[in-house]
Amino acid sequence: MTPSGPRARPRPSSRSSRATSRLAGAFLIVLAAAGCASLPPAREPIPSEVKASLDLLDQRWRAFADLRTLAELTIRRGDRVQRFAGVLLLRAPASLRFEALSPFGTPVLIVAADPKTLTLWEVADDRAYFAPATGEANRRWLGVALGGQELVALLAGRVVPLSDPLRAERLSPDAAGPSLNLVGADGSQRIWFDPANGQARQVEWSGGKTPLRATFLSAKPDAPPGGVRLAAPDGSLDVRITYKNPRMNTGFDPALLTLTVPEGVRIQDFR
C-alpha cells in the first residue's frame, strides 16, 4: 500500500545547478556587453581656442547670402569624363541652380535644388527626375554624397563644420597651414583655414561612407570664390569647378532658382 503523505520533490543535482548558474552568468555578461556597446562615446569638452575657430568659420558661412557666376564643371568618375559650362546660382542655406549650356547657348542640362527637392532635367533627352534633397541625390549628379547645405557652402568657398563633434582639436600647421580636426560618431572632418579671418583652404572627410577632400581655389578673403576641386582619396572621383566673373551677395531674385519642368517631359519621381 502506498503511503498517503506528500511526496518529496527531487532535488536538482549540484552539477545541474552549477550549469544553470554558469549559463545565467554568461547571459548577464552578454547583456552587459551589449549595453556597453550601445553606449555612444563620451563627448569631450571643446577647448576655448578651438571653439573660437569654429565660431569664426560659422560667422564666415553665415555672412554668405548668394552667388551667381559663369562656371565650368568637369566630372571624372573612373574612365568617364563629363564637361559642362553654364550658369551657377547659389543661395543660402541650401538652394542652387546650375544650367549647362550648349555651344549655341541653349540649355542641355538643368539642376535645381532647394532644402526639400532636387530636380534634374536632361533637356536634350526630354527627361526629368525629382528626388529628395539628400546626399544620395547629390551623389547621383555630382558624385559627392553631401547634404544640400554642405554642398552650397563648399561651392560658395565656405565650410559647415561638423555639428556636435565628440572631440575637437587644433592640429599643428602642415604644408596647407593650421587645421581643426573634428571627430563625430560616423567619421571625422579636418578643416584647413586662415585663423585670422576664417577663410577655408581645404576640408577633408574621412572614416565615414564618403571620404572626400575639397580644395578651394585661392581668393582674397573678401572676394568671391574662384572655384573648388572635390576629389576622392582613392582617385575614383575628381570634380573641378572654376568660376568666371563671380558676384556674391547681390540679392538676386530667389525666383531665378525655381525650375518648372514643362508638360510633355518624361518624369520619374523618387520622392
pLDDT at 30 (0 to 100): 37
Q: Residue 217, Cα to own-chain centre: how many angstroms?
A: 20
Q: Which residues have C-beta within 8 Å of that of residue 71, sequence separation ≥ 6? A: 85, 86, 87, 88, 98, 227, 241, 242, 243, 244
The CA-to-CA distance between both ends of the chain, in Å, stands at 82
Say what the pLDDT of residue 43 is: 85
Q: Which residues of the chain have pLDDT under 50?
A: 1-3, 5-9, 12-13, 15-17, 19-37
Angle (deg, nearest 10), helices 148-155 and 135-142: 50
Strands 127-132 and 266-269: parallel
Residue at grid coordinates 572632418: 189
- Mind giving me the DSSP string for 228-254? EEEE-TTSSEEEEEEEEEEEES----G
- Which three-class secondary structure state does DSSP give residue 89? strand
pLDDT value of residue 34: 42
Beta bridge partners, 228, equal 216, 241
Q: What is the CATH number of domain 48-247+265-269?
A: 2.50.20.10
Q: What is the pLDDT of residue 38?
A: 55
- How do residues 162-209 score in pLDDT, each as one tens digit? 988 999 999 999 999 999 999 998 899 999 999 999 999 999 999 877
Compute the distance between CA of residue 28 and CA of residue 94 in angstroms, rounded to an integer. Answer: 48
Query: What is the identity of the amino acid at 67?
Result: L
Enter the DSSP assignment of 257: G
All structural domains of the chain with their residue ranges: 48-247+265-269
| CA–CA separation, 71 and 208 (whole Å) | 30
Angle 245-251-252 (CA atoms, 0-180°, nearest 5)? 70
Q: Which grid coordinates belong to 48?
A: 576655448
Q: Which helix (H) or strand (E) holds 68?
A: strand 66-77
